[in-house]
A = this chain, B = another copy of it.
Amino acid sequence: MSRLRRMPRQQQPLARPVRRRSYDQFCATARALDSVGDRWTLLIVRELLAGPRRYTDLHADLPGVSTDVLASRLKDMEQGGLVTRRRLPPPAAASVYELTERGHGLLPVLAALAEWGAPAIGDRRPTDAVRAHWFALPLLRALDALTHAGVVEVRLDEGEFHVRVGGSSGPLDGAGVYGDGPAAHADARIVLDDEVCLALGRGEFTLAEAVKDGRVEVVGEGPLAGELRGE
């Protein structure tokens, strides 16, 4: 026995207060990853880009995250200035988390990741969870060339979501860039299936082409709907 300690190894833990893990590199990318590189953090941002959400809603739409990790991430993100916690008025005894402006600034990061990941998404595996609004990020790429601004409601097999488009995705009005479920007021609605939605995100064809051969159906009368039809 006595696996004779091979080294004194008595080096103190250095009295590190709590030391959040950092890459300790003077590099913009590394600093960004210090903030959002932890597991689940960017997916929490993806959820919050849909607008303010409660803890339980976040937990429901992030299958696999454990309760303590979610709570811990939200705390870290609040301290890091990515999210704020807002207590709802008395009737509803609950609080919601929402992105700060800094947190919203991660949209290009999420969009770049979605664009890179779209070609490799493959088929849906039996163990894969799905939510309709997860298709919003890839789709935004196909919609960001629109000149008219407004809200587009998107109907997929999995459910529906809505996105704000046009106006260079102007200043947020407190709501998200996209949202789950139907929109309060939609300027147009499109109906398509997952495959077509992902192919649009991959840039395999344009929205106008997809509308033309019937893979995407456009409902609505306004100028935004007209532009979606390629008119």
Interface set of A (CB-CB < 8 Å, partner B):
23-33, 35, 37, 39, 42-43, 46, 63-64, 105-106, 108-118, 120-122, 124-125, 127-131, 134-135, 137-138, 198, 201
CB contact between A105 and one of B42, B116, B135 (< 8 Å): that residue? B116
Number of this chain's copies in the assembly equals 2
Cβ distance A221 to chain B, nearest Cβ, rounded Å: 32
Q: Are B125 and A116 in contact (CB under 8 A)?
A: no
Q: Are B63 and A25 in contact (CB under 8 A)?
A: yes
Sorted nearest first, the 3 A-B pairs with minimum C-beta distance are A32-B117, A27-B134, A28-B117
Measured between beta carbons, the chain B residues less than 8 angstroms from A23 are: 43, 64
Q: Please state if A28 and B128 are interface contacts (CB–CB under 8 Å).
A: no
- Contacts A26-B134, A130-B26, A198-B28 known; A116 to B108 CB distance under 8 Å? yes
Q: Which residue of B lies closest to A109 (CB)?
A: B112
A116 CB, nearest partner CB in chain B, Å: 5
- What's the Cα separation between A169 and B106 when bound, in Å? 24
